[in-house]
């Protein structure tokens, strides 16, 4: 069993699985729901399928490759969470530290004006009462204050974004409910304060460096390998430009693909990284195996435990949330072939991944098309193809 399966992408082929996955990808391409895709499947630490299909850049005709680099969006979150948990292990952070220990001026209030205590565990599990602008109705404080979701180019830094965020009323008291949020951006600022280094430096030191994830970081290492970004549309997905607003559920997300090239863009702990499918698989396999060189097995076990309960429905019925990802508690309620204890999440630029520890299975499915690759029919089709 190789130490880091994603460092070698020559698969020990499962031809039946590969045919099913390739067919699912091919259908999405033929129906023009996605522009390009990379899919990696590992079983027992061995890559059994590595596929690249479609185009990384439609306008230039650049084909997708297995080592294409993508804007990761929320796949950033589990990596930054792992860095935070490493600092918890070393005693530099505590899960029950109030955020004001590290960010004295970050003091959001409830609608009644009271100031509750937000703990670091609330930020990591999205139970702090914070939100995202794309979940908030027009005219809300998130919009009137101009709070960035970490995917755009707002023209100001993280400290200013947190200053604005602290002025928006909390949706719920900390610990009362799960609400997907900018909590990991706040955690990024906490890490910088506790680690006395920039977030990119800390993530490189604590996670990507030890694992040899050369493609992953807050800046593009090889621009020629970066996939273009596209948004759902008819008759085919539209290429994104900076400032494009893409509808999502009852809201909309403002994207700036150029953020990946802008050295002045603040490092968003919730959405700011780029990386390749091989790097993501190597990280997920490290987690599946118990933490390897970056985390202790006990820490990983706690990260993989549901911290919030299935009432959160973080990926629909049957899903709770751990530290960094959704946790499947009830496969029957979820209507999924995945095993209890499966970890899963994705990214707004068009990505999904899951780890089924019971079956020693890890799957990374990256596309360059938002939101089909994250929340359309595509992730479910890949999942079902893997399980057959």
DSSP letter string, 111-165: TTS--PPPBHHHHHTT-SS---GGGSPTTSHHHHTT---SSS--SS-HHHHHHHH
Among the residue ranges 3-17, 39-53, 241-255, 283-297, the one predicted with the least confidence is 3-17
Return all residues near 331 (Cβ < 8 A) that are at least 6 apart.
Answer: 318, 337, 338, 339, 340, 342
Which whole number is the average pLDDT over 27-38? 98
* Catalytic annotation present for 74: yes
Say if residue 212's pLDDT is above 50.
Answer: yes
- β 326-328/69-71 pair status: unpaired
Say if residue 322's pLDDT is above 90.
Answer: yes
Which whole number is the average pLDDT over 308-335? 98
**CA atoms of 185 and 272, how far apart (whole Å):** 9
pLDDT at 10: 62
pLDDT at 249: 87
Say if residue 2's pLDDT is above 70.
Answer: no
Look over the chain and give the mean of its residue pLDDT values, rounded to a whole number: 96
**CA atoms of 88 and 183, how far apart (whole Å):** 17
Which whole number is the average pLDDT over 197-218? 98
Q: Residue ranges of the domains in the chain?
A: 5-75+226-248+270-387, 81-201
**CA atoms of 1 and 155, how far apart (whole Å):** 47
**CA atoms of 292 and 166, how far apart (whole Å):** 37
The pair phi, psi for residue 43, each rounded to 5°, is: -130, 130
Q: Regarding the domain delimited by 81-201, which CATH topology (the fold level of the hierarchy) does it fall under? A: Beta-lactamase (3.40.710)
Say if residue 3's pLDDT is above 60.
Answer: no
**Of 115, 74, 81, whose CA–CA distance to 314 is shortest?**
74
Which whole number is the average pLDDT over 301-323? 98
Say if residue 203's pLDDT is above 90.
Answer: yes
- List b or e across 224-249, with b for residues whose CB sees 16 or more CB atoms inside 10 angstroms: ebbbbbbbbeeeebebbeeebebebe
pLDDT at 4: 36
> What percent of the chain stands above pLDDT 90?
95
Which whole number is the average pLDDT over 75-81? 98
**Of 374, 379, 382, whose CA–CA distance to 151 is shortest?**
374
Active-site residue, from 74, 148, 276, 362:
74
Same fold, 5-75+226-248+270-387 and 81-201: yes
Say if residue 68's pLDDT is above 50.
Answer: yes
Cα dist. 217→194, 207, 238, 298, 300 in Å? Answer: 20, 10, 26, 26, 22
Say if residue 30's pLDDT is above 80.
Answer: yes
pLDDT digits (tens, 9 = 90+) for 126-174: 999 999 999 999 999 999 999 999 999 999 999 999 999 999 999 999 9
**CA atoms of 125 and 175, how far apart (whole Å):** 9
Which whole number is the average pLDDT over 23-39? 98
Dihedral angle, C-alpha 218, 224, 225, 227, nearest 10 °: 80
pLDDT at 8: 47
- Contact between 240 and 229 under an 8 Å Cβ cutoff? The reply is yes
Q: Which tokens in the block code for residue 45?
A: 């630490």
pTM: 0.96
Class of domain 5-75+226-248+270-387: alpha beta
**CA atoms of 45 and 141, how far apart (whole Å):** 46
The pair phi, psi for residue 56, each rounded to 5°, is: -75, -35
Identify the band that residue 13 occupies on the pLDDT scale cut at 50, 70 and 90: confident
Helix%, strand%, coil% for the chain, nearest 5: 35, 20, 45
pLDDT digits (tens, 9 = 90+) for 373-384: 999 999 999 999
The pair phi, psi for residue 338, each rounded to 5°, is: -65, 155
pLDDT at 9: 65
pLDDT digits (tens, 9 = 90+) for 93-119: 999 999 999 999 999 999 999 999 999
DSSP state at residue 244:
-
Say if residue 35's pLDDT is above 80.
Answer: yes
Q: How many CB atoms are located within 10 Å of the residue 15 CB?
A: 9
Say if residue 206's pLDDT is above 50.
Answer: yes
């Amino acid at each position: 069993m190789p130490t880091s399966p994603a460092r070698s992408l020559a698969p020990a082929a499962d031809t039946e699985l590969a045919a099913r996955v390739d067919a699912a990808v091919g259908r999405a391409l033929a129906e023009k729901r996605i522009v390009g895709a990379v899919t990696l499947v590992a079983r027992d630490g061995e890559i059994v399928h590595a596929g690249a299909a479609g185009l990384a850049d439609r306008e230039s005709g650049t084909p997708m490759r297995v080592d294409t680099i993508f804007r990761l969006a929320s796949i950033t979150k589990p990596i930054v969470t792992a860095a935070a948990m490493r600092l918890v292990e070393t005693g530099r952070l505590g899960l029950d530290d109030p955020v004001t220990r590290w960010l004295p001026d970050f003091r959001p209030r409830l609608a009644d004006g009271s100031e509750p205590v937000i703990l670091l565990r609330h930020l990591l599990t999205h139970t702090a009462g914070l939100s995202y602008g794309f979940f908030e109705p027009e005219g809300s404080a998130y919009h009137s204050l101009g709070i960035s979701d970490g995917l755009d180019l707002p023209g100001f830094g993280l400290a200013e974004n947190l200053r604005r965020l602290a002025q928006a009323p909390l949706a719920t008291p900390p610990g009362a409910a799960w609400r997907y949020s900018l909590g990991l951006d706040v955690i990024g600022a906490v890490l910088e304060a506790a680690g006395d280094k920039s977030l990119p430096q800390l993530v490189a030191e604590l996670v990507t460096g030890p694992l040899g994830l050369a493609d992953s970081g807050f800046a593009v290492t090889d621009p020629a390998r970066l996939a273009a970004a596209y948004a759902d549309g008819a008759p085919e997905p539209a290429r994104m430009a900076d400032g494009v607003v893409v509808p999502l559920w009852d809201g909309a997300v403002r994207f700036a693909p150029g953020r990946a090239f802008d050295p002045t863009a603040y490092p968003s702990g919730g959405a700011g990284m780029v990386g390749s499918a091989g790097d993501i698989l190597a990280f997920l396999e490290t987690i599946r195996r118990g933490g390897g060189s970056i985390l202790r097995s006990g820490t990983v076990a706690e990260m993989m435990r549901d911290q919030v309960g299935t009432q959160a429905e973080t990926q629909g019925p049957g899903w709770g949330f751990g530290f960094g990802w959704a946790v499947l508690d009830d496969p029957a309620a979820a209507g999924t072939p995945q095993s209890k204890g499966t970890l899963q999440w994705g990214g707004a630029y068009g990505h999904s991944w899951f780890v089924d520890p019971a079956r020693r299975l890890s799957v990374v499915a990256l596309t360059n098309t938002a939101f089909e690759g994250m929340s359309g029919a595509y992730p479910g089709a890949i999942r079902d193809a893997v399980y057959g």
